[in-house]
């Protein structure tokens, strides 16, 4: 089953995707694809539509036109909940944890998608429900252990340090057992050492969970350490695609980042 | 013919009173995005203030009106200072609960002091005017006239004075306004005073038109005006007026067809129906949600 | 080896410690719980025999208040929405159960009649909770509060216009069926079911919705079914409380279910503590006793209660037990020892 997916060209394929906010076009005719087990980096200046793209992929906002094909299914009309069940998980640019809940509860809420008990089981607390609940606690604790956060399990998520909050958000996304992980600036606000640790962690996660990743990031060394291929967005359009080396030398990318004025000076 | 015309005037009179109160709800919602449930009780206090002033010295209407407005305006600002300012940065639920609580406090204090409904003394000789076979009482002209004048005055203040400009700025971005050196707290107090004054005037006019006043007026009539503000789209001045006249008309029509006990049922059902189809009222806009 | 043991230690979930003590102690704890519950039941039967009617009355009121408080806490505390329409659900339960005991089946033996009436009251309230839940899918915050408010007004003025149940004059001649043991039974049932619900995946779903609805959806929380269940369960138990109330007071009229009633329930919720079963219990106890103690103040009592609410909002918005829980109100495997909530 797993193997047959990898041979499929329609792992994730985005075609002519558009998103308009009123009159403003945030994503314009965007097409790209993602291969299984690949880590694809997405860069672009502020307001290029990177986060909007993630919101469209995860079903949080509806697209205006175009198609998103994920594992042979069109998902552009599906809700965020349906998409999370199809194996796409995400983190947010501005960390969105359930702040007043404990670290364990944060993980468990994502893990709950895998529990199979009925509302009646829940209300009467049947043996089946108790078994499932224990399973969920155990699996969540194991996941926390992989992130060496078991000692924080009963802390409120909002009270964690910034780096721990970022890591918890990744752990929470992994609790959904996703095939594709969307990471929105996971290294924002981190120093060099923290960034290296995070890079290690992500590499390890990708191998351990056989994941594909889409990664939005501004920090080039970070993205180059993880991705072999990257996309560059500017004003909602795809302006370049290729290996990090190719992107570095691409004139349009340099223009997009440095502006038209500087072009004449070089 | 006369009957229909009379009902039209009744609807216009009721709508005008609702509009005056609804403006108070909308002003506060515009500036603080909070529902000031206690506003209905300020309206009720307007009627009682007028009664009290008349009981002390019988003074003519043109003096008692500004006095009532000043008193209730002051009470509105006081309410903001004592109850709402401490919780301004608390979750929005706290604000709703606090205003609900304040409304009940005001209502029940009034109830404890004056447990039975009271009669308003007549301030005006009620003469009628005949006009192409239509009878209009002078009182109705007065209620509508005063209401419209006050609404125009408010419109002038909001549009052309610096206070109005500050109020409009506050409703866009409260943090930015204080950074620009505009005394946000004072503007908020003044907004409450403005809303309170209109509510007080409405209370007085209501007491003239329907001269039995009681402590439950705040919920029975004041909340109707709130319904009107929500129907029109709370936070929007034009919406408040639109909602008030829609509600006034609906109520007058329903009272002519059905027993008067159905009044509340009709009004709140109308609100529910409108919210199902237009979740933010007729002229209201949904709040921006950032992902 | 040592490391392995450490890892085991860290991996151990709170429930595991309990399991490892073995079957024997498991049954002992279980018997203890049953024993305590039975003891309460016996006490509820004996109290009316040894103490006067007033004490029994207050205790029944206390239990009804606790049921109202905990069911509203589900919406206002756990889900973080704001409902002021709880008195309407109570009214629906009260009227439906009274219709059954007075008009439909007054001849049925009490042992069947009473649970039937109360359950029916709960179901009618739950049924009416469904459209409200559907409205809450799209609408949140202030506007949902307005919807519940108009819902309350519609139910109240609707009842005033139905002469079958006495109109504005009220519904008279309801038999007094609510005894202390029955009230105790319903109270325990309510708390047990709500405890189960809160510690299930739907319970976690609604706390996630409270914290961040968009993140919750992205994490696969089906917000609609969670909201639906919450509204239905909450209104069901409000209806049950209404049924108990009608059969206790023997007279109900539409104005006993006005906004002041809703406010009183709100006072209990925010006094005891939002998002906490223990808090609901504390809130109901403190409120009920306070309400009785303030009896001599007459109308001024109606001023003191909202004043208390406002002061709470200003000085302690989370209430006495906000977001904290006594361990005996938590299922074994969800217990968390040493949770530090000071950062919240």
Q: How many CB atoms sit inside 10 A of residue B109's CB?
A: 19
> Given this model, what pLDDT does residue C212 score?
92
| Position B199 pLDDT exceeds 90 | yes
Confidence at A7, pLDDT banded by 50, 70, 90: very low
Note whether residue B273 is domain-resident: no
> Given this model, what pLDDT does residue C143 score?
86
B273: DSSP letter: H
For residue A237, the distance in angstroms to the closest alpha carbon of chain C comes to 25
Note whether residue B290 is domain-resident: no
B93 to chain A, any CB pair closer than 8 A? The answer is: no
| Position C343 pLDDT exceeds 50 | no
Chain C interface test: which of B88, B95, B101 (most C C-beta within 10 Å): B101
Note whether residue B287 is domain-resident: no
Q: Which residue of C has its CA nearest to B274?
A: C147
| Position C21 pLDDT exceeds 50 | no
Note whether residue B276 is domain-resident: no
Distance CA C232, CA C131 (A): 10
Confidence at C334, pLDDT banded by 50, 70, 90: low
Q: Which residue bears the tokens 């007054």?
A: C106
What domain range includes position B195?
20-216
Distance CA B209, CA B205 (A): 6
Are B92 and C142 inside 8 Å of each other by CB?
A: yes
Chain C interface test: which of B29, B82, B84, B97 (most C C-beta within 10 Å): B97
| Position C115 pLDDT exceeds 90 | yes
C343 to chain B, any CB pair closer than 8 A? The answer is: no
Spatial neighbors of B63 by CB under 8 A, at least 6 apart, are none
Residues 12-31 (C) with a CB less than 8 A from some CB of A = 12-16
Tell me what the mean pLDDT of segment A239-254 comes to: 86
What's the mean pLDDT when you consider all of chain C?
A: 87
Are B272 and C147 inside 8 Å of each other by CB?
A: yes
C331 to chain A, any CB pair closer than 8 A? The answer is: yes
Q: How many CB atoms sit inside 10 A of residue A22's CB?
A: 5
SS3 category, B29: helix
Note whether residue B67 is domain-resident: yes
Distance CA C237, CA B239 (A): 38
For residue B240, the distance in angstroms to the closest alpha carbon of chain A comes to 27
| DSSP notation for chain A | -HHHHHT-TTSEEEEEEEEEETTEEEEEEEEEEE-TT-EEEEE-STTSSHHHHHHHHTTSS--SEEEEEETTEE-TTS-HHHHHHTTEEE--SS----TTSBHHHHHHHHHGGG----HHHHHHT-HHHHHHHHHHHHHHHHHHHHTT-GGGTTSBGGGS-HHHHHHHHHHHHHTT--SEEEEESTTTT--HHHHHHHHHHHHHHHHHTT-EEEEE-S-HHHHHHH-SEEEEEETTEEEEEE-HHHHHH-HHHHHHHH-HHHHHH-
Are C153 and B262 inside 8 Å of each other by CB?
A: no
Note whether residue B14 is domain-resident: no
For residue range C31-68, what is the model confidence (pLDDT) as tens digits? 888 888 889 888 888 888 888 889 999 999 999 999 99
In contact, A140 and A69? CB cutoff 8 Å: no
Question: Burial of A255 by CB count in 10 Å (0-12 exposed, 13-18 middle, 19+ buried)?
Answer: middle
Confidence at C23, pLDDT banded by 50, 70, 90: low
Chain A / chain B CB contacts < 8 angstroms: 4
CA angle A76, A78, A81 (to 5 degrees): 135
B38: DSSP letter: T
A58 to chain B, any CB pair closer than 8 A? The answer is: no
Are B100 and C259 inside 8 Å of each other by CB?
A: yes
Spatial neighbors of B15 by CB under 8 A, at least 6 apart, are B244, B245, B246, B247, B248, B249
Rounded to 5 degrees, φ, ψ at A68 are -125, 115
Q: How many CA atoms lie within 13 A of A49 on its CB side?
A: 26
Q: Which residue of B has its CA nearest to A94?
A: B291
For residue range A148-196, what is the model confidence (pLDDT) as tens digits? 899 999 989 999 998 899 999 999 999 999 999 999 999 888 888 889 9
Are C168 and B261 inside 8 Å of each other by CB?
A: yes
> Given this model, what pLDDT does residue B6 score?
84
For residue range B21-62, what is the model confidence (pLDDT) as tens digits? 999 999 999 888 888 999 999 999 999 999 999 888 888 888
For residue range C223-247, what is the model confidence (pLDDT) as tens digits? 999 999 999 999 999 999 999 999 9
Which residue among C135, C303, C313 places its CB closest to the CB of B97? C313
For residue B283, the distance in angstroms to the closest alpha carbon of chain A comes to 18
Q: Which of the other chains make 3 or more beta carbon contacts under 8 angstroms with chain B?
A: A, C
- Give the rounded distance of the alpha carbon of C203 from its chain centre: 15
Q: Which residue bears the tokens 């609960």?
A: B97
Are B100 and C84 inside 8 Å of each other by CB?
A: yes
Where is pLDDT greater, at C207 or A263?
C207
For residue range A21-60, what is the model confidence (pLDDT) as tens digits? 888 889 999 999 999 889 999 998 888 889 999 999 999 9
Confidence at C341, pLDDT banded by 50, 70, 90: very low
In contact, B185 and B168? CB cutoff 8 Å: no
Residues 35-54 (A) with a CB less than 8 A from some CB of B = 51
For residue range A73-124, what is the model confidence (pLDDT) as tens digits? 899 999 999 999 999 999 999 999 999 999 999 999 999 999 989 999 999 9
> Given this model, what pLDDT does residue C16 score?
47
For residue C208, the distance in angstroms to the closest alpha carbon of chain B comes to 16
| Position A9 pLDDT exceeds 90 | no
Chain C partners within 8 Å of B264 (Cβ): 153-154, 156-157
What's the mean pLDDT when you consider all of chain B?
A: 88
Note whether residue B285 is domain-resident: no
Give the least confident one: A88-102, B70-84, C255-269, C319-333. C319-333
Distance CA C18, CA C9 (A): 14
Q: Tell me the two tokens of residue B261.
A: 């006990």
Confidence at C262, pLDDT banded by 50, 70, 90: very high
Note whether residue B7 is domain-resident: no
| DSSP notation for B207-252 | HHHS-EE-TTHIIIIIHHHHHHHHHH-TT-HHHHHHHHHHHHHHHH
Q: Which of the other chains make 3 or more beta carbon contacts under 8 angstroms with chain C?
A: A, B
What's the mean pLDDT when you consider all of chain A?
A: 88
CA angle A86, C80, A124 (to 5 degrees): 70
Q: How many CB atoms sit inside 10 A of residue A189's CB?
A: 11
Q: Which residue of B has its CA nearest to A92?
A: B291
> Given this model, what pLDDT does residue B5 score?
84
> Given this model, what pLDDT does residue A261 score?
47
Residue C232's region, left for phi above 0, alpha for psi from -120 to 50, else beta, is alpha
Confidence at A8, pLDDT banded by 50, 70, 90: low
Distance CA B145, CA B131 (A): 17
Chain B interface test: which of C310, C315, C318 (most B C-beta within 10 Å): C310
B291 to chain A, any CB pair closer than 8 A? The answer is: yes
C10 to chain A, any CB pair closer than 8 A? The answer is: yes
> Given this model, what pLDDT does residue A260 score?
52
Tally of domains within chain B: 1
Distance CA C81, CA C226 (A): 13
Are C306 and B104 inside 8 Å of each other by CB?
A: yes
Q: Tell me the two tokens of residue C201.
A: 């995946």
Confidence at C333, pLDDT banded by 50, 70, 90: low
Distance CA B145, CA A182 (A): 62
Q: Which residues pair with B131 in a beta bridge?
A: B134
C276 to chain A, any CB pair closer than 8 A? The answer is: no
> Given this model, what pLDDT does residue C107 score?
85
Are C14 and A172 inside 8 Å of each other by CB?
A: no
Give the least confident one: A47-61, B102-116, B163-177. B163-177
Pairing of strands A12-21, A180-184: unpaired
Are C147 and B275 inside 8 Å of each other by CB?
A: yes
| Position C292 pLDDT exceeds 50 | yes
Give the least confident one: B65-79, B146-160, C208-222, C309-323. C309-323
Distance CA B37, CA A256 (A): 52
C338 to chain A, any CB pair closer than 8 A? The answer is: yes
Tell me what the mean pLDDT of segment A6-16 comes to: 74
Q: Which residue bears the tokens 């060099």?
A: A192
Confidence at B258, pLDDT banded by 50, 70, 90: confident
Angle between helices B162-172 and B184-209 (to 10 degrees): 110
Q: How many CB atoms sit inside 10 A of residue C35's CB?
A: 10
Are B269 and C313 inside 8 Å of each other by CB?
A: no
- Give the rounded distance of the alpha carbon of B243 from its chain centre: 12
Tell me what the mean pLDDT of segment B198-211 comes to: 92
């Amino acid at each position: 089953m797993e193997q047959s997916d990898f041979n499929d060209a329609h792992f994730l394929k985005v075609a002519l995707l558009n998103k308009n906010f009123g009159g403003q076009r945030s994503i314009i005719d965007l097409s790209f694809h993602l291969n299984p087990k690949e880590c694809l980096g997405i860069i672009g200046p502020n307001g290029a539509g990177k986060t909007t793209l993630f919101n469209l992929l995860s079903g949080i906002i509806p697209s205006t036109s175009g198609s998103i094909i994920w594992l042979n299914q069109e998902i552009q009309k599906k809700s965020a909940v349906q998409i999370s069940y199809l194996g796409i998980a995400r983190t947010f640019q501005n960390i969105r944890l359930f702040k007043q809940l404990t670290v364990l509860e944060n993980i468990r809420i994502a893990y709950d998608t895998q529990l199979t008990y009925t509302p009646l089981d829940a209300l009467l607390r049947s043996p089946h429900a108790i078994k499932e609940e224990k399973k969920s606690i155990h699996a969540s604790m194991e996941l926390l252990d992989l992130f060496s956060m078991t000692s924080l399990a009963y802390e409120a998520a909002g009270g964690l340090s910034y780096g721990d909050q970022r890591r918890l958000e990744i752990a929470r996304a992994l609790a959904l057992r996703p095939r594709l992980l969307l990471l929105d600036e996971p290294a924002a606000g981190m120093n060099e050492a923290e960034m290296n640790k995070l890079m290690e962690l992500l590499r390890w996660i990708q191998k351990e969970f056989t994941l594909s990743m889409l990664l939005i990031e501004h920090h080039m060394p970070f993205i180059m350490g993880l991705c072999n291929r990257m996309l560059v967005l500017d004003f909602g359009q795809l302006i370049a695609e290729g290996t990090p080396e190719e992107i570095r030398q691409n004139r349009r990318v340099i223009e997009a980042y440095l502006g038209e004025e500087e072009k004449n000076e070089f | 013919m006369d009957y229909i015309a009379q009902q039209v005037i009744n609807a216009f009179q009721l709508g005008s009173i609702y509009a005056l109160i609804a403006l108070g709800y909308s002003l506060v919602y515009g500036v603080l995005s909070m529902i000031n449930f206690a506003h209905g009780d300020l309206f009720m206090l307007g009627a009682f203030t007028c009664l009290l002033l008349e009981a002390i010295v019988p003074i003519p209407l043109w003096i008692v009106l500004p006095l009532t407005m000043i008193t209730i305006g002051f009470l509105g600002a006081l309410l903001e200072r004592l109850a709402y300012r401490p919780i301004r940065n608390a979750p929005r639920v706290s604000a709703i609960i606090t205003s609900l609580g304040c409304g009940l406090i005001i209502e029940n204090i009034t109830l404890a002091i004056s447990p039975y409904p009271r009669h308003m003394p007549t301030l005006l000789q009620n003469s009628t005017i005949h006009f192409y076979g239509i009878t209009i009482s002078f009182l109705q002209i007065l209620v509508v006239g005063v209401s419209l004048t006050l609404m125009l005055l408010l419109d002038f203040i909001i549009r052309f004075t610096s206070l109005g400009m500050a109020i409009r700025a506050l409703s866009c971005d409260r943090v930015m306004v204080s950074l620009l050196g505009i005394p946000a707290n004072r503007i908020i107090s003044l907004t409450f005073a403005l809303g309170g004054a209109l509510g007080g005037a409405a209370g007085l006019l209501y007491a003239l038109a329907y001269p039995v006043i009681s402590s439950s007026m705040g919920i029975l009539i004041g909340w109707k005006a709130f319904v009107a503000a929500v129907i029109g789209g709370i936070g929007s001045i034009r919406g408040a007026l639109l909602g008030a006249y829609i509600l006034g008309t609906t109520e007058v029509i329903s009272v002519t067809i059905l027993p008067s006990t159905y009044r509340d049922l009709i009004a709140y059902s109308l609100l529910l129906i409108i919210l199902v189809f237009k979740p933010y009222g007729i002229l209201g806009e949904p709040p921006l949600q950032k992902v | 080896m040592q490391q392995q043991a450490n890892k085991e230690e860290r991996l151990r979930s709170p429930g595991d410690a309990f399991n490892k003590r073995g079957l024997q102690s498991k049954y002992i704890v279980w018997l203890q719980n049953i024993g305590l519950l039975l003891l309460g039941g016996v006490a509820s039967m004996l109290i009316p025999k040894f103490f006067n009617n007033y004490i029994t009355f207050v205790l029944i009121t206390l239990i009804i208040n606790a049921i109202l408080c905990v069911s509203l806490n589900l919406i206002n505390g756990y889900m973080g929405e704001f409902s002021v329409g709880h008195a309407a659900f109570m009214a629906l339960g009260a009227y439906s159960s009274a219709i059954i005991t007075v008009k439909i089946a007054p001849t049925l033996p009490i042992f069947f009649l009473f649970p039937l009436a109360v359950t029916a009251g709960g179901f009618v309230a739950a049924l009416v909770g469904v459209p409200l839940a559907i409205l809450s899918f799209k609408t949140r915050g202030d506007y949902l509060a307005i919807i519940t408010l108009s819902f309350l007004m519609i139910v109240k003025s609707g009842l005033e216009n139905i002469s079958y149940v006495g109109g504005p004059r009220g519904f008279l001649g309801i038999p007094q069926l609510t005894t202390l043991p029955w009230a105790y039974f319903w109270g325990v049932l309510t708390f047990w079911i709500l405890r189960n619900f809160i510690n299930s995946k739907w319970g976690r779903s609604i706390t996630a919705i409270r914290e961040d609805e968009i993140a919750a959806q992205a994490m696969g929380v089906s917000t609609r079914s969670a909201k639906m269940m919450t509204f239905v369960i909450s209104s069901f138990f409000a209806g049950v409380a209404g049924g108990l109330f009608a059969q206790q007071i023997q007279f109900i009229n539409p104005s006993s279910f006005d906004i002041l009633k809703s406010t009183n329930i709100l006072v209990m919720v925010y006094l005891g503590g939002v998002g906490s079963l223990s808090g609901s219990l504390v809130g109901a106890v403190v409120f009920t006793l306070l309400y009785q103690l303030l009896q001599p103040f007459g109308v001024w009592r109606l001023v003191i209660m909202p004043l208390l609410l406002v002061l709470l909002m200003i000085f302690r918005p989370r209430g006495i037990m906000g977001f904290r829980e006594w361990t005996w109100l938590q299922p074994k495997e969800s217990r968390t020892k040493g949770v530090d909530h000071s950062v919240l």
